[in-house]
Amino acid sequence: VCLLLPIGLISSTGWATPLFTALIAYTFFGLDALSEELEDPFGTEANDLALDGLCRVCEISVFEALGETPPKMLPAEKFYFS
């Protein structure tokens, strides 16, 4: 798409075609990088969802609602929750 974009823009933008092409290409490549980062949210990397911590919070809430002693929170491993 980015290779043929200047051909489509040349008649309407003139000398600013490289600028508009670079801006649109930057947007496309940025969205591609973002989608690759968000593609797998269930893992053990630092930017993945902390599912163990979320499940423990739900478990503590259920124990408190039942009037029982809740378990302790999970400690963070390597400064993030898994």
**pLDDT tens, residue by residue, 56-79:** 889 999 999 999 988 887 777 766
pTM > 0.75: yes or no: no
Average pLDDT, the chain: 85
In this structure, what are the phi and psi dihedrals at residue 77, rounded to the nearest 5 degrees? -105, 125
Residue type (1 letter), 49: L
Give the separation between CA 8 and CA 35, rounded to whole angstroms: 27
**Average pLDDT estimate for 10-26:** 92
